[in-house]
Structure 1
Amino acid sequence: MSRHVLVAIDDSEASRAAFEYALEEYPEARITVLHVFDSTHPNIYADATGGSAEQYEEFELANREHGMELLGDATDLAADRGRPVRTALEDGPPTQTIVDYAADHDVDRLVVGTHDESVTSRVSLGSVSQAVAKRTSIPVTIV
C-alpha cells in the first residue's frame, strides 16, 4: 500500500486522467501534485520570447502563474472528492526534477500521464513519463 503518491501534472488530459486515477486508486495515501516548468530550456524560452532577455522575467512569471492555476485546479478537483492534496511547483528539466522531487520527499509511488499512444513513438523518442520510469527505482504508474 502506497503511503505517499506523487502525481506530475501539466495542462493535458493525460495528466488529469493520471491525477483522477491516483485519487481513486490510492484513497489512504497522501497525494502530492507536482507541476514542473522548465524555464531553462532554450527552445521554450526562444519560441515564447523571440530570445529577448528583456522578456524573460515576464515569460517566467506567466508560466509560474499558469502552473499555480493548474495546481489550484487539482486542489479544487481533489476537494470536490473529499481529498486533501499537497502541491508543489518546481523549475527545471521535467524528468530529472520529477525523479529528484520523489527521492527527496519520501514518495513511494509515482503516477504520470502519457501523451504517447503509439508504440513506435515511445520506442524511438520516449516521453517524460517513460523517462521517469527508467530513471527511478520508485514504482511508476503510467496512465
Structure 2
Amino acid sequence: MYQDILVPTDGSDGTRRSLTHGLAIAKRFDATIHALSVVPEGPLGTLQTDEAIPAAERAVERIEAEATREGVDVVTAVEQGVPHETILAYADDHDIDMIVMGTQGRTGLDRVLVGSVTERIVRMADVPVVTVRLNDEIRIEDADEAARIARKTAEQEGYDGVNVLEDPHRTSASWIVPLETDAGPVHVHVDAVTSEARVAEGPDTE
C-alpha cells in the first residue's frame, strides 16, 4: 500500500498545508514521511543565498518535529538541483509510494516548489501525486457523495463489480476511497473542491 510518502517543503505556508495532508495519510496507512527541501538550481547556476541551505534545513526540521509529535516515522533530506528533477529522482531512489504537494505559491521559494513544478511532477511521476490547494473552499463534505463519485469513476475506467471496501477517508482537500473490484482492490482519490477523481492505485500500478 502506501509505505513511504514524500512531502517536498520549504517551510512556507503552502508546503505546511501539504504536510498536514501528508501526515494524515501517513497516520492512516502507518507510513513514513519523507521531508525533502530543494535548494534550487537553474540554467545560470545555483539560485541560493547564504541563508538558503540553513532555511531548507529548518524546513525539514519542522516537519521532523511535527511528524514526531504525531507518532509518524520521518526521514529528512536537503538537496540542491532543479526542483522537479530532484523531487522525481528522490522518489525513484527511495521507493516513494506517493507524493503530496501544494498547487499554489505565494512568496519566496514557495513559488519555486509549487505551481508549475507541481504540474511537472503530476505529469512525470510514476507514483500517485496528491495535490493540495491552499485557499479553495471544500465542496464535498459527505463521505457517501465521495464514495458515489469514486464508484462512478472506477466504472468509467473499465472496472467491474465495484464496491466500497472501507469508509472513505478525507485528508485535507481530497477523499481516499478504497474500492473492491473484479480486478482486485483499488484506491480512488476524489478532489473535495472540484469533484475530479482518478484511480490512484490498482493491480497494474503497484
Asked whether the two chains share a fold, i.e. TM above 0.5, the reply is yes
Counterpart CA distance in 2 for 1:25 and 1:106 is: 17
TM-score by length of 1: 0.76
- The structure where helix makes up a greater share of residues is 1
Point out where structure 2 has 5 or more consecutive residues left out of the alignment.
Answer: 106-114, 133-206
Give the number of equivalent residue pairs. 122
Tell me which residue corresponds to 2:119. 130
Asked if structure 2 preserves the Cα contact closer than 8 Å seen for 1:90 and 1:97, the reply is yes
- The structure where strand makes up a greater share of residues is 2
2:82 matched to 1:80?
A: no
Counterpart CA distance in 2 for 1:41 and 1:67 is: 21
Query: Which one scores higher on RCO, CA 8 angstroms, separation ≥ 6?
Result: 1
Could you tell me how far 1:12 is from its partner in structure 2? 2.4
Tell me which residue corresponds to 2:131. 142
Q: Secondary structure at the match of 1:26?
A: helix
Could you tell me how far 1:138 is from its partner in structure 2? 1.0
Deviations 1:75-100 (A, max 9, x none): 11112222231101110000010011
Tell me which residue corresponds to 2:11. 11
Asked if structure 1 preserves the Cα contact closer than 8 Å seen for 2:15 and 2:101, the reply is yes
Mapping of residues 1-143 of structure 1, within 5 Å: 1-27=1-27, 28-40=30-42, 42=44, 45=47, 59=49, 61-115=50-104, 127-143=116-132
Asked if structure 2 preserves the Cα contact closer than 8 Å seen for 1:15 and 1:114, the reply is no
Structure of higher CA gyration radius: 2
Tell me which residue corresponds to 1:55. none
Point out where structure 1 has 5 or more consecutive residues left out of the alignment.
Answer: 49-58, 117-125
Segments of 4+ moved more than 6 angstroms: none
